[in-house]
Amino acid sequence: MARDTGTEALARLAEDRVDHRFKGLPPDADGLTVGELAAQRRNLFTDGFTTPVLALSAERLEHNLRLMETYATRHGLAFAPHGKTSMAPQLFQRQIEHGAWGITLAVPHQVRVARAFGIERVFLANELVDPAALRWISSQLGEDFHVICYVDSVRGVELMDAALRDADAARPLDVVVELAAGEGARTGVRTEAECAAVADAVAGTQTLRLVGVAGYEGEVPQATPERVHAWLRRLVALAVDFDKAGRFTETDQIVISAGGSAWFDAVADVFAEIPELSLPVLKLLRSGAYVSHDDGHYRKITPFNRVPEEGALEPAFRLWTQVVSRPSPEQAFTNAGKRDAAYDLDLPFAQVVRRDGTERPATGIEVTGLSDQHAWLRTGPEAELEVGDWVGLGLSHPCTSFDKWQLIPVAEADGTVVDYIRTYF
Taking the model in full, what pTM does it have?
A: 0.96
Residue 416's pLDDT is 98
Residue 10's pLDDT is 97
The pLDDT tens digits of the residues spanning 17-49 come to 999 999 999 999 999 999 999 999 999 999 999
Do residues 267 and 259 make contact, with C-beta atoms less than 8 angstroms apart? Answer: yes
Express as a percent the part of the chain with pLDDT over 70: 99
Read off the pLDDT of each residue in 55-63 and give the average, rounded to a whole number: 98
Chain centroid to Cα 239, Å, comes to 26
Residue 132's contacts (CB-CB under 8 Å, 6 or more residues apart) are: none
Read off the pLDDT of each residue in 143-171 and give the average, rounded to a whole number: 97
Q: What is the mean pLDDT of the chain?
A: 97
DSSP state of 356: T
Read off the pLDDT of each residue in 176-201 and give the average, rounded to a whole number: 96
The pLDDT tens digits of the residues spanning 68-87 come to 999 999 999 999 999 999 99
Q: Radius of gyration over alpha carbons of the chain, in Å?
A: 23
Read off the pLDDT of each residue in 302-311 and give the average, rounded to a whole number: 96
Do residues 365 and 383 make contact, with C-beta atoms less than 8 angstroms apart? Answer: yes
Instruction: List the chain domain ranges.
Output: 6-57+313-422, 120-286
pLDDT band at 156; cut points 50, 70, 90: very high
Read off the pLDDT of each residue in 92-109 and give the average, rounded to a whole number: 98
Cα 148 from Cα 150, distance rounded (Å): 7
Read off the pLDDT of each residue in 53-64 and give the average, rounded to a whole number: 98
Cα 177 from Cα 151, distance rounded (Å): 5
Read off the pLDDT of each residue in 410-423 and give the average, rounded to a whole number: 98
Cα 8 from Cα 29, distance rounded (Å): 24
Residue 423's contacts (CB-CB under 8 Å, 6 or more residues apart) are: 86, 87, 88, 402, 403, 405, 406, 407, 408
Express as a percent the part of the chain with pLDDT over 90: 98
250 phi and psi, to 5 degrees?
-95, 0
> If you write DSSP's letter for every residue of 262-328 in order, what string do you get?
SSHHHHHHHHTTPPP-SS-EEEEE---GGGT--SSHHHHH-GGGT-GGG------EEEEEEEEEEEE
Instruction: Tell me whether the omega of the peptide bond preceding residue 172 falls within 30 degrees of 0, making it cis.
Output: no
Do residues 41 and 49 make contact, with C-beta atoms less than 8 angstroms apart? Answer: no
Tell me: domain 120-286, CATH 2.130.10.10, correct? no
Strand 121-127, strand 146-151: pairing: parallel
Residue 66 has pLDDT above 80, yes or no: yes
pLDDT band at 179; cut points 50, 70, 90: very high
Tell me: domain 6-57+313-422, CATH 3.30.40.230, correct? no
Residue 372 CB coordination number (10 Å): 8
- Kindly list the distances between the CA atom of residue 370 and the CA atoms of 297, 344, 377, 384, 399, in Å, as whole numbers in the listed order: 18, 11, 9, 21, 18
Read off the pLDDT of each residue in 365-375 and give the average, rounded to a whole number: 98
Residue 1 has pLDDT above 70, yes or no: no
Is residue 254 helix, strand or coil? strand
Cα 134 from Cα 405, distance rounded (Å): 29
Residue 2 has pLDDT above 80, yes or no: no
Cα 398 from Cα 378, distance rounded (Å): 24
pLDDT band at 5; cut points 50, 70, 90: confident
Residue 4's pLDDT is 76
Cα 298 from Cα 315, distance rounded (Å): 9
Residue 3 has pLDDT above 80, yes or no: no
303 phi and psi, to 5 degrees?
-60, -25
Residue 339 has pLDDT above 60, yes or no: yes
Cα 405 from Cα 423, distance rounded (Å): 7
Read off the pLDDT of each residue in 79-104 and give the average, rounded to a whole number: 97
Residue 128's pLDDT is 97
Residue 225 has pLDDT above 80, yes or no: yes
Read off the pLDDT of each residue in 304-323 and give the average, rounded to a whole number: 97
The pLDDT tens digits of the residues spanning 106-129 come to 999 999 999 999 999 999 999 999
Residue 131 has pLDDT above 80, yes or no: yes
Read off the pLDDT of each residue in 135-153 and give the average, rounded to a whole number: 97
Exposure string for 220-247, b = 16+ CB within 10 A, e = fewer: beebeeebbbebbebbbebbbebbeeeb
Residue 381 has pLDDT above 80, yes or no: yes
